[in-house]
Amino acid sequence: MRILIAASEAVPFAKTGGLADVAGSLAVAFRGMGADSSLIMPLYRRVREHFRLKPLGIEFSVPLGPVTQTARIWTAARAKGVPAYFIENDFFFDREYCYGTPDGDYPDNASRFIFFSRAVIEAAIRLELAPDVIHCHDWQTALIPLYLKSVYRSRLPETASVFTIHNLAYQGRFWHWDMPLTGVGWEHFTPEGIEFFGKINLMKAGIVYADEVTTVSPTYAREIMTHAHGEGLDGVLKNRRDSLAGILNGIDTHDWNPATDKRIVAVYGPDDLSGKKLCKAALQRECGLKRSARTPLAGVVSRLSGQKGISLLASACEQILGKHDIQLVVLGAGDAALERRMQRLAGEFEGRMHTHIGYSDEMAYRVYAGADMFLMPSRYEPCGLSQMIAMRYGAVPVVHKTGGLADTVTEADDGGNGFVFSGFSVERLVAAVERALEAFGNRRRWAGIVKSSMTGDYSWRHSAREYLDLYRKTFERTIGHVA
Ligand code: ADP
Ligand code: GLC
């Protein structure tokens, strides 16, 4: 099976969130299973600055409405055995950020990712990759399935498409006059196609035209077919019910491994947590918190956005920190008002709460390793990787029962690995944290919960196999023979 993974971000090259973890680590997991996978993404400025790349000497033009843009293909030394290709176009991608500045999205994102989607297919042809399946991720690559069924049908007749929804809230909606940029005829601009309330909806192209659609957890797959979670696309998704699967994300358990992690103060494993105690003490020192092994330390590593339940958390903090002996470290960036709110709270509870605004891989490791608990009260969560990383590092998660959080965390009061609340309210969140605090007070019980968190299987083993089975079935059904 030859698989080409097309994504707008992938570790280790560029990352704004879990999509990058998934695209990068899934490609590596496939290689470990003998499948032939490669990765293709835009050549952003930071990729050029941080990685040694090689031009392949392949250059081509991509029509974009009345103009054409040039694409050049680069490659990187194989990251963990996976060939990675990069589409260079400095006009579109030589920028500081992937999608926009802190002030908002880049105004030409439609052009940038229409260009990228088409360049992926052109690159696959020119590199003679002959993929059996192009696995497309989120709206930035969602036009690829439509291209394979229209403009490129005769040139890539033996390539099937799988489209994965990582977050239905970001759909790539643009005004209808961007339609000519796609090079796809207006006959596709219909309610059955990519039209959505008078606009183009790129995510809808992926949902409608992909041979198979997936999302990143079984619960989210069910939720997005409801009015409450469907973001206006629940009807479209229901139409594809027979081709919609929920496959739980995994994490790269080699990279996220407290037993070998060189970035933390001391390594540790489920049977000997003494290293974790040192990590906690180091985090307390770094964040100006009282050094105390007995005081529970809760961590948050998150985009600060409405999705993540940050304002619920802020309201709950006042009660939790006001009433209990607990410390809190927040690492996050995003919405300016939420950033200010978390900083204000840290000022109010100085010495017990620390907020670090920014994106820092290094600090993220230290928070996961140093925290006893991990708070993730997301309003909705397609899958969520942070709670899995936290569990791997022995930080017991406290989560809202939604999407992938519901599929990965089970209530410790019923023998599970964390604390789960139903009903998105401050009271329910506070009650769940209080259950966690009570358990923390009982050393043996807490050790049992930490152990069940740490020993869960969060690897790609099962899910990568599920994807491979799905690719095979999709290929056979749509192309008509065995790959
Ligand atoms: P989402 O993709 O919705 O942001 P996930 O839980 O799937 O949520 O993935 C988030 C990923 O981004 C995790 O790897 C997490 O550690 C990382 N992350 C989030 N915020 C930060 C931050 N401020 N600094 C460093 N890493 C972060
Ligand atoms: C999105 C979702 C998150 C998921 C990630 C990777 O960013 O918000 O829940 O884990 O994609 O699939």
Asked if residue 371 belongs to a domain, the reply is yes
Residues 199 and 159 in one domain: yes
Same domain, 173 and 304: no
382 close to ligand 2 (CB < 6 Angstrom): yes
Q: What pLDDT, on the 0 to 100 scale, is given for residue 340? A: 97
Ligand 2 pocket member 83 (CB < 6 A): no
Q: Same domain for 224 and 291?
A: no
Dig out the tokens for 360 from the structure. Answer: 């820092």
394: in domain: yes
What is the domain-level CATH number for residue 324? Answer: 3.40.50.2000
Which residues of the chain fall short of a pLDDT of 70? 78
Residue 179 CA, chain-centre distance (Å), reads 28
Please report the pLDDT score of residue 115 as a whole number: 98
- Given the CA of residue 376, which atom of ligand 1 is nearest to it? 6
- What's the pLDDT at 32? 87
- pLDDT at position 34: 87
Closest to 3 in 3D by CA, of 13, 28, 11: 28
Helical packing angle, 310-323 and 336-348, nearest 10°: 0
Q: Is the Cβ–Cβ distance between 398 and 431 less than 8 Å?
A: no
Kindly give the number of the ligand 1 atom that is closest to the alpha carbon of 249.
7
Pocket of ligand 1 (CB under 6 A): 17-18, 21, 301-303, 331-333, 359-361, 364, 383-386, 389
Q: Is the same domain home to 281 and 208?
A: no
Structure tokens at 475: 């290929």
CA of 249 to the centre of ligand 2 (A): 9
The pLDDT of residue 172 is: 98
**Which one of the ligands is nearest to 305 CA?**
1
- Alpha carbon of 17 to ligand 1 centroid (Å): 5
State yes or no: cis peptide before 12, omega within 30 of 0. Answer: yes
Tell me, using a 6 A CB cutoff, whether residue 456 lines ligand 2: no
Residues 348 and 219 in one domain: no
One domain, residues 188 and 323: no
Give the per-residue pLDDT at 481.
Answer: 86
- In short, whether 142's Cβ falls inside 6 Å of ligand 2 is no
| DSSP code of residue 51 | S
Q: Are residues 364 and 465 in the same domain?
A: no
- Which ligand has the minimum distance to the alpha carbon of residue 405? 2
What's the burial of 249, exposed, middle or buried (CB within 10 Å: 0-12/13-18/19+)? buried
Based on the structure, what is the number of domains in the chain? 2
Residues 212 and 108 in one domain: yes
Q: What is the 3-state secondary structure (H, E, C) of 114-141?
A: HHHHHHHHHHHHHCCCCCCEEEEECHHH
Testing ligand 2's pocket by substitution, the residue of 385, 389, 458, 460 carrying the most ligand atoms inside 8 A of its CB is 385
pLDDT for 78: 65
Q: Is residue 347 part of a domain?
A: yes
Give the total residue count for the chain.
Answer: 483
d(CA 437, CA 469): 43
| pLDDT on residue 482 | 84
Q: What is the pLDDT of residue 136?
A: 98
What stretch of H or E contains 58? strand 53-64
Q: Is 138 in the pocket of ligand 2 (CB under 6 A)?
A: no
- The boundaries of the domain holding residue 393 are 274-454
Question: Given the CA of residue 15, which atom of ligand 1 is nearest to it?
Answer: 12
334, 227: one domain:
no
What is the number of the ligand closest to the CA of 15?
Answer: 1
pLDDT tens-digit series, residues 187-229? 999 999 999 999 999 999 999 999 999 999 999 999 999 999 9
Q: How many angstroms separate the CA atoms of 112 and 106, rounded?
A: 9
